[in-house]
């Protein structure tokens, strides 16, 4: 049965109709089942449970699921190696928007939750005593998406909240070297985790989480997401390139995804970042990805420099959310 689409204003109906006939959208509808599902849901305002069910049975998600070990992990366990370990595999499957009730994913989340550090965060390291804030932000997003219960997430949320630095953001070095200036990478990961946690309806410290997320978003907005405050230049050359999957890294597309998911869609400070994204669009209306981050992978996502369905889907979704800019 097809889910009922939400009611749209006449101007929105016209926009959806136009998008539906766009050749780029038609191209996307001939790609991976996970891309097709998200195009229909997020660009065409449709939703079909049968299409979502296909994600786990075919395409790249099926390849990833098939790589799971008999003990329930992927790779060599929770966090080794990048990028075929359980942690990044679950992130990748969330990117696919696979059904959050898939047993393999929920079981893997439970295995990771067994590796809790003394500070309350998940900690896959056997030698480092301080849990990594960036890993915990990412894992909170994964665990909340795959329906972990509130009791399982309580100490993790408490740990992340305790590590917010003075400018409102987060940094994976805050509890190791005492760094008090935020990192765009960690801040982005934590905002994403907080959004998924709130979306799932968890009540533990929900007001604190929402306030911390707001401060972290403001921290990114103050630097137009990607700029050095002092010079206006990119914080690193890689952040104005586009990557898929983003993994733990920040880039302009990832930053826009995270802040729009947090509900920020009309802030003028996003305009420079949106302009960077629009400027990377190819003449044929699609986007290419830059080279992926080094490491082992389950799936090769389109050669760098060629039209990339995933980056194109993500970019179109963000631009739609920010249509007033």
Instruction: Convert the pLDDT of each residue in 216-245 to its tens digit.
Output: 999 999 999 999 999 999 999 999 999 999
**Looking at the predicted structure, is the pLDDT value of residue 153 above 70?**
yes
C-alpha angle 287-288-293 in degrees, rounded to nearest 5? 135
**Given this model, what pLDDT does residue 8 score?**
44
Cβ contacts of 80 within 8 Å, gap of 6 or more: 124
Flag whether 24 is in a domain.
Answer: yes
- Does residue 6 contact residue 30 with C-beta atoms inside 8 Å? no
Tokens in use for 279?
């400027």
Cα separation of 116 and 131, whole Å?
9
pLDDT digits (tens, 9 = 90+) for 289-317: 999 999 999 999 878 999 999 999 999 99
Residue 15: inside a domain = yes
Region 169-196 average pLDDT: 95
Residue 32 counted as domain residue: yes
Q: Which domain holds residue 6?
A: 1-55
3-state helix, strand and coil shares in percent for the chain, rounded to the nearest 5? 50, 0, 45
- Judge whether 299 lies within some domain: no
Q: Does pLDDT of 137 surpass 70? A: yes
64: in domain = no
- CA 93, CA 88: separation in Å to the nearest integer? 9
Residue 26 lies in a domain: yes
How far apart are the C-alpha atoms of 29 and 40, rounded to whole Å? 8
Express each pLDDT in 105-114 by its tens digit.
Answer: 999 999 999 9
- For the chain, the domain total comes to 1
Cα 195 to Cα 209: distance, rounded to the nearest angstrom = 9
Answer whether residue 304 is part of any domain. no
* Domain contains 210: no
- 78's torsion region: left (phi>0), alpha (psi -120 to 50) or beta? alpha
């Amino acid at each position: 049965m097809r889910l009922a689409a939400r009611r749209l204003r006449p101007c929105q109906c016209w926009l959806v109709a136009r998008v539906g006939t766009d050749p780029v959208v038609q191209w996307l509808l001939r790609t991976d089942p996970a891309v097709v599902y998200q195009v229909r849901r997020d660009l065409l305002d449709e939703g079909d449970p049968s299409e979502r069910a296909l994600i786990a049975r075919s395409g790249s998600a099926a390849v990833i699921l098939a790589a799971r070990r008999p003990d329930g992990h992927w790779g060599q366990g929770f966090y080794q190696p990048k990028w075929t370990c359980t942690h990044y595999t679950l992130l990748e499957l969330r990117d696919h928007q696979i059904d959050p009730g898939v047993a393999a994913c929920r079981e893997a989340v439970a295995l990771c939750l067994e590796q809790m550090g003394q500070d309350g965060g998940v900690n896959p390291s056997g030698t480092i005593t301080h849990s990594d804030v960036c890993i915990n932000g990412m894992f909170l997003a994964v665990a909340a998406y795959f329906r972990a219960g509130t009791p399982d997430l309580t100490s993790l949320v408490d740990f992340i909240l305790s590590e917010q630095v003075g400018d409102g953001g987060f940094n994976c070095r805050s509890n190791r070297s005492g760094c008090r200036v935020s990192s765009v990478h960690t801040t982005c990961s934590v905002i994403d985790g907080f959004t998924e946690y709130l979306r799932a309806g968890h009540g533990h410290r929900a007001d604190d989480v929402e306030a911390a997320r707001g401060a972290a978003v403001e921290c990114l907005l103050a630097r137009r997401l990607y700029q050095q405050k002092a010079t206006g230049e990119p914080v690193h050359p890689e952040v104005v390139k586009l990557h898929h999957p983003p993994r733990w890294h920040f880039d302009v597309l990832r930053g826009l995804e995270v802040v729009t998911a947090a509900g920020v869609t009309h802030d003028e400070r996003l305009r420079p970042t949106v302009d960077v994204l629009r400027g990377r669009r190819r003449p044929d209306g699609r986007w290419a990805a830059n080279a992926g981050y080094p490491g082992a992978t389950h799936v090769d996502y389109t050669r760098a420099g060629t039209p990339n369905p995933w980056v194109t889907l993500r970019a179109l979704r963000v631009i739609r959310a920010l249509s007033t800019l």
